[in-house]
């Protein structure tokens, strides 16, 4: 079954590190909602009958910039043009400052059953550095509000590797999350993306990026800390209590089909070769103008051969605790990695980067996770040893 991703491109201000597509100056959302519903209709006509939808994800930008009425129109459009009768999970990204009790209850009324909350840090100094809207007090109180509203499925984002952050802040961030018994935590290393305000601060020498070793130590600490407290580290950035894995994200990691709507959204569809991946244009005005003429606002489209898909599969699966199934790689992608990479696999196991292979599954150890990209590079099928 497929996923549906809905990109809402509005933010109230720009976080210093962010390179997602969003606008901060749009007062009215009417034109966007109109265009989005039309795109849902067109994509529903093309793909809606091929596969039912299992997960819906509202991302951004900041979906919580939309009113409940606007969201209701979008949900109705999705229900009308796709088969949503099998939906298992509907996730909604929300920023702490938007999560009022009435808004949270309204989201539940729309069938949204999982939240992804952009907390990032429980410290004012970090939040100010990142130019977030909320403060440390709201970062904590939103967790009480979410629980009082009856959400038991939610995730928080936390960022480590913040330049200049005192070392004890990161462990304190995890302590606070733990004290609220947060069921799912996504942790990200702060990366300096091109053309962001943070990149400019670095260029001018105003900010010194965190040393790679320090970031890696924080990541290692996070793995130990959360594992000891009952979280499953089920994907490089994702930690979940039992029963709280994100179902939608699993679609990205397993080459399941998904349709993305909204400016800059990506889609993937594989029904016979080549598979197709495409993205929408990153421009709200053009997006609205094209859809007013019933034109799909595609920016780039890529046709993916089985070789490319096999490489991607190795990259994606090694990031997960379920690991890379050599049998699946052979059956679905036609690659016998065990034969082509036997010496590499032996070296990686001897170096402690992967666990001994059991049931034809390759899994990274904690050491391997700290150098996931370089381990993956050694196991890409096209680099047969």
Which residues within the stretch 46-85 sit at the binding site for ligand SF4 (CB under 6 A)? 60-62
The string over 304-332, giving b where at least 16 C-beta atoms fall within 10 Å of a residue's C-beta and e elsewhere, is bebeebbbbbbbbbbbbeebbbbeebbee
Q: Which of 15, 159, 174, 314 binds ligand SF4 (CB under 6 A)?
A: 15
Element (H, E) at 44: helix 30-47
Q: Shortest CA distance to 383 belongs to which of 275, 323, 303, 307?
A: 307
Are 359 and 318 in contact, with CB atoms under 8 Å apart? no
Q: CA-CA distances (angstroms) from residue 69 to 84, 110, 173, 197, 234?
A: 20, 10, 35, 33, 36
Asked if 18 is part of the footprint of ligand SF4 (rule: CB under 6 A), the reply reads: yes
DSSP letter for 98, please: G
| Number of residues forming the site for ligand SF4 (CB under 6 A) | 11
CB 71, min distance to ligand SF4, A: 17
Q: How far is the CB of 5 from ligand SF4 (least distance, A)?
A: 14
The least distance separating ligand SF4 from the CB of residue 130, rounded to whole angstroms, comes to 8
Stretch in the footprint of ligand SF4 (CB under 6 A) among 15-23, 37-45, 134-142, 331-339:
15-23
Pick from 14, 49, 128, 271: which binds ligand SF4 (CB under 6 A)?
A: 14
For the bound state, the minimum distance from the C-beta of residue 311 to ligand SF4, rounded and expressed in Å, comes to 29
Interface with ligand SF4 includes 284 (CB under 6 A)? no
Q: By CB under 6 A, name the one of 2, 6, 22, 348 that touches ligand SF4.
A: 22
Helix, strand, coil tally for the chain in percent (to 5): 45, 20, 35
User: Toward ligand SF4, which CB reaches closer, 18 or 289?
Assistant: 18
263 binds ligand SF4 (CB under 6 A): no
Beta-carbon contacts of residue 242 (< 8 Å; ≥ 6 apart): 230, 232
Closest to ligand SF4 by CB, 195 or 359: 195
Which residue has 């901060």 as its token pair?
24
Residue at token pair 């952050």: 165
Query: Binding to ligand SF4 by residue 11, rule CB under 6 A?
Result: yes
Q: How far is the CB of 22 from ligand SF4 (least distance, A)?
A: 5
Query: Of the ranges 10-18, 107-115, 203-211, 357-365, which one interacts with ligand SF4 (CB under 6 A)?
Result: 10-18
- Measure the CA dihedral 21/23/28/31, to 10°: -40
Cβ proximity to ligand SF4: between 12 and 373 the closer is: 12
The interface mask with ligand SF4, positions 117-156, x = CB under 6 A, is -x--------------------------------------
20: contact with ligand SF4 by CB under 6 A: yes
- If one asks whether residue 5 binds ligand SF4 (CB under 6 A), the answer comes out as no
Is 321 a binder of ligand SF4 (CB under 6 A)?
A: no
Tokens standing for residue 373: 């990209």
At 145, give phi and psi (nearest 5°). Answer: -65, -40
Distance in angstroms (rounded) separating the CA atoms of residues 301 and 281: 11
DSSP 23: B
Residue 190 contacts residue 159 (beta carbons within 8 Å): yes
Site for ligand SF4, rule CB under 6 A:
11, 14-15, 18, 20, 22, 60-62, 95, 118
């Amino acid at each position: 079954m497929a996923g549906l991703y809905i990109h809402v491109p509005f933010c109230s201000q720009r976080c210093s590190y962010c390179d997602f597509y969003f606008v901060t100056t749009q007062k009215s959302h009417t034109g966007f909602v109109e265009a989005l519903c039309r795109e849902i209709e067109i994509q529903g006509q093309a793909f809606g009958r091929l596969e039912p939808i299992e997960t819906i994800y509202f991302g951004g930008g900041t979906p919580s910039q939309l009113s409940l009425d606007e969201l209701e129109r979008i949900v109705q459009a999705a229900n009308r043009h796709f088969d949503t009768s099998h939906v298992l999970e509907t996730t909604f990204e929300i920023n702490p400052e938007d999560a009022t009790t009435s808004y949270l209850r309204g989201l539940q009324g729309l069938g949204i059953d999982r939240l992804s909350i952009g907390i990032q840090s429980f410290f004012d100094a970090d939040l100010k550095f990142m130019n977030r809207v909320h403060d440390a007090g709201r970062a904590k109180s939103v967790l009480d509000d979410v629980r009082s509203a009856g959400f038991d499925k939610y995730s928080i984002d936390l960022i480590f590797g913040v330049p200049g952050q005192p070392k004890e802040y990161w462990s304190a961030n995890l302590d606070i999350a733990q004290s609220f018994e947060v069921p799912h935590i996504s942790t990200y290393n702060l990366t300096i993306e091109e053309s962001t305000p943070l990149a400019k601060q670095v260029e001018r020498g105003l900010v010194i990026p965190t040393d790679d070793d320090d970031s890696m130590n924080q990541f290692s600490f996070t793995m130990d800390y959360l594992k000891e407290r009952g979280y499953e580290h089920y994907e490089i950035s994702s930690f979940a209590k039992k029963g709280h894995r994100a179902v939608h994200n699993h679609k990205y990691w397993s080459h399941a089909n998904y349709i993305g709507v909204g400016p800059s959204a990506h889609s993937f569809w594989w029904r016979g070769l080549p598979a197709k991946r495409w993205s929408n244009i990153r421009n709200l005005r053009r997006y609205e103008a094209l859809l007013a003429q019933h034109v799909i606002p595609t920016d780039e489209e890529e046709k993916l051969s089985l070789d490319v898909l096999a490489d991607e599969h190795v990259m994606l699966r090694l990031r997960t605790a379920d690991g890379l199934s050599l049998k699946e790689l052979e059956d679905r992608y036609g690659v016998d990695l065990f034969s082509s990479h036997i010496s590499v696999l032996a070296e990686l196991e001897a170096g402690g980067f992967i666990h001994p292979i059991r049931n034809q599954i390759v899994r990274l150890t904690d050491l391997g996770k700290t150098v996931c990209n370089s381990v993956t590079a050694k196991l890409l099928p096209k680099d047969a040893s």
